[in-house]
Every structure is written in structure tokens, then in C-alpha cells.
Structure 1
């Protein structure tokens, strides 16, 4: 019962953005001591932040599980399109993220290639593929994003000749470029984005027009954008001016139904 209440409280906070403790007590019919204990437990995940007299949503750190479920059918199709860009003997980087992880579903297990990644899901997904050489980046495991982050020596990535980098973002802006919020994730993203011969951005439509703390690459650096819907006019014009290819995912209704069925997913 308490776990269910905690989930409902967290969902309510994210839907309202900021709420008082008194409002939560009234909404969930519990005492102030109880709601304080609940808030303390939820705040350990980093998805909400306590403030004087209440709590606010921390949207950039909404749990990886919840972000993975959101727009799942679109992310599957983005992953399929991204995998179709891979050729034999490519040396590719697959970024951590709730969209890039779906590429694993559509990789040809018989295709020889080298994968460099910091995503636990990608590591688990390709570790049994006999024709894939796998290299892991990052020296610290970040549980809430299921990724490895941080580098003892940034020059350690210089030895890799990355043909194609499949990157994720927290936000995409024509002025602030490709952004994320974690300084240790930023370090890896920035180095890879500068080294890769071809930069392929995987981002569903909800990411455009947003920016967060850190810019790891300008939007003009991108070669291909794989997204879920038609981009706003200013982004279409920007891409045309900078010779950026745009590819759209179009999951059909039957695929959408299957992917959103109970128990579906990675």
C-alpha cells in the first residue's frame, strides 16, 4: 500500500510542479509526519526537491524507468531507423539514454562491428552477439540513468576512431545546441561528439525547443536527426541551412498497441 501511495504522490507532484505539504496531506489523507517520511523517501531518487513548506518537481531527473516508458513506440521506431544506418565493420558509439537503448532491438547479430558505449542496456543487449567487439566507457555507474559516467583521463578516448556516434539529449535548441544536465555525462558526450566522423542525434519530438545546463555540441555539428514527428519550422530551416538530414519515425497503430501493452518494453 505504501509503495502505491509513494508512486501516486510522485506522479501528483510532477503533474502540479510544486505543492505544499498541507496540500499533499489533504490529497492523500495522511498526517504531516507521514507525508514528510514519504517525501524523504521519494527525494532520495532525485526526481523531486524539498523546499520550505513543500516540494517541487525536478523534471530533468525524472526516473529512468518513467522516462523509458514515455513515448515508447516512437522510441522503438527511432531505434529501428538508427540501426538501419549501421554498416558492416563500423566503429560506433551508442550513447546512454531512453531512446538510444532501443537500437539494440534492431541490430543484426551477424553484422561485424565495434561498439563503444556507456549504456548498461546496450552492454547487456550486445554482449552475447558473437560478431560485436564491445568497449565500455566510464568508470562510475550511475543507477538512475543505468549508465557509466566519468573518465580518469579524457585522453583515453583519443585512441578510438568513431565512424558514427548515436547521441541522446535532454534538450535540443537551435541556440544552445545539444544539452544535458550531468557534468560527468557531458564530458563523455562532448569528447565523442568532437571525434565522430558522423553525428546522429536520436531525439523524440518532446526534446526540441528545450535546453538544460550544459551544451555538449552545437546543433550545426549534427549530420542526421532521427525523430518522431515533423520538427517546428525554425528547426527545419536550420537543418536545411546546415545540410542536416532529418528522418522521421512513424510507428503504426498496431505497433503502438503492442508496445504499450502490459509487460511490453525492453
Structure 2
């Protein structure tokens, strides 16, 4: 069942790439390109977290309110202080000679910056903004997963990259999320990130979710993990008591900037 779900995620990601590049895609053509039946395509599109929809025999992008669209440039300016302090706290779990996976996104850029500059590490990542920071570290062995480039999060996806990640064993995986809900788990805005995040979590001995308080209670289109799959959840900021109480069953660490 897990393999079937994973195949559906990859098909959705490939269809999303085609729709972004070419516009509306005939369902029958999508089925031919992905070597499945049109019924399978329709089933994929009917998934609750699908970023695509079927209309008039075509595959179309689901229209999201502009507030829900993710842009790396916009996200970089939001809640920066809380992202930074969460990442500084999470970086304390990193030890010399660890092998790490670092997720994409603006939060993880703060995490890469928070790592002790001369500490010897091996790091796997799949985004250009993270790789750019890590490439300046003299004692870091950097592995960048390649594939089709997605400008929205400056990240890559390919079957080969996923296979490589599945073969790796990393000590610790540090992931970000656009939404963290006590019942629906961790989610993000970009569907193509899901298989990479899930492969990293399978590969890692320890998993960490690092977010700022604004993500608590939110749902994004692409679910990738229940919260109890993370060994630690680090939250930057001081959420209201009622919101904080919703997450009392999870291993959460709250960190605040000195000025708060």
C-alpha cells in the first residue's frame, strides 16, 4: 500500500511539472506518458492533498488563494527572528562527523547558517539556497541531489535523486514545514517536496522538524508526515497557551529570541 501511495505522489509531481510547463494536460495523454490508465490518473487527482484537478478531460492546477501560494523570496522575509532562534536551538543536536539531511526552504537556510563553521560534517540537500551556504564551509562534504529544478523553493526532484537518498544512511534529518497540525501532521505547499522529505525520514536515524510558531495550526496542500514520526519538534516563538495546549502530546521544544 505504501509503494502505491508513493507512486501516486510521484505521478502527481510529474503531472504538476507538465502542467506548469505546458498548461492544461489531456488526461488520456497524461495516462500514456505515465504508463497507467486514465482511471489511475483520475484517482490520483481525487486525492485530498492533490495540487491538481480534473476538469473537462484535462489535468489542471488547483487554484489556491494567493495567501496560500509559497514563494521563497516572500517567505524569506516572514518570521525571520523566530526561524533563526528555532534553527539555532536545533543545531545544538548536531555533533562533529554527523551525516545530515537538510530540507529546502527559508527556515533551513537559517539552520545551515547556525551550524558551527569549522565542524566536520557530511550533508545531503536538494536546494540551491542551502547548497550555496554549505559550499562555503571548509570541513563539510556536500552532496546535492539533482533533477528537475523547481523555482518556487529553489529545489530539485528526480527518480535518480530519490534512489540515491534511499540508499544513504544519515544520522539526522532536519525538515521544515509550511503547516503543522496536531491531527493532520506536517504539510508543505509544494507537492514535489513530499517524496524527498519522506525518503530522508526513512533514511535517518533521528528526525527533527524545525518551524516558527506561525506554522502551528496550519494545513498546506501536501501532507508528508504525522507529527509522532519526529523525534523532536523545535518551534521558534511563543504561541498562545491555547494553541500550545493542542500539541501537548508531542515532543516539542519552544525557543524564543532574546528580545521576545
Deviation at 1:102, TM superposition (A): 0.5
Q: Distance in 2 between matches of 1:138 and 1:216?
A: 20
Report SS of the residue matched to 2:112. Answer: helix
**Normalising by the residue count of structure 2, what TM-score does the alignment of the two structures yield?**
0.69
Structure of greater relative contact order (alpha carbons < 8 Å, 6+ residues apart): 2
Compared CA separation, residues 233 and 107, structure 1 to 2 (3 A)? closer
Report SS of the residue matched to 1:237. Answer: coil
Give me the CA root mean square deviation.
2.0
Deviation at 1:81, TM superposition (A): 1.3
Aligned counterpart, 2:248: 237
Structure 2's unaligned 5+ residue stretches are: 1-62
Report SS of the residue matched to 2:101. Answer: strand
Compared CA separation, residues 115 and 70, structure 1 to 2 (3 A)? same
Compared CA separation, residues 150 and 170, structure 1 to 2 (3 A)? farther
| Kept in 1: contact 2:147–2:161 (CA 8 A) | no
| Kept in 1: contact 2:119–2:139 (CA 8 A) | yes
Report SS of the residue matched to 1:111. Answer: coil
Report SS of the residue matched to 1:99. Answer: helix
Q: Distance in 1 between matches of 2:165 and 2:199?
A: 8
Q: How does 1:45-124 map to 2 (within 5 A)?
A: 57-124=65-132
**Alignment pair present for 1:185 and 2:196:** no
Compared CA separation, residues 213 and 235, structure 1 to 2 (3 A)? same
Q: Distance in 1 between matches of 2:64 and 2:231?
A: 37
Q: How does 1:1-266 map to 2 (within 5 A)?
A: 57-152=65-160, 154-230=162-238, 232-239=243-250, 244=251, 246-253=252-259
Compared CA separation, residues 153 and 134, structure 1 to 2 (3 A)? closer
Structure 1's unaligned 5+ residue stretches are: 1-54, 257-266
Size of the aligned set, in residue pairs, is 195
Any runs of at least 4 consecutive aligned residues in structure 1 with deviations exceeding 6 A, and if so which? none
| Kept in 2: contact 1:179–1:211 (CA 8 A) | yes
Larger Rg: 1
Compared CA separation, residues 158 and 62, structure 1 to 2 (3 A)? closer
Compared CA separation, residues 159 and 56, structure 1 to 2 (3 A)? closer
Q: Give CA-to-partner distance per residue, 1:62-112, whole Å, 9 cap, x none.
A: 421111101111111112112221101111101001211101222222211
**Normalising by the residue count of structure 1, what TM-score does the alignment of the two structures yield?**
0.68
Aligned counterpart, 1:15: none
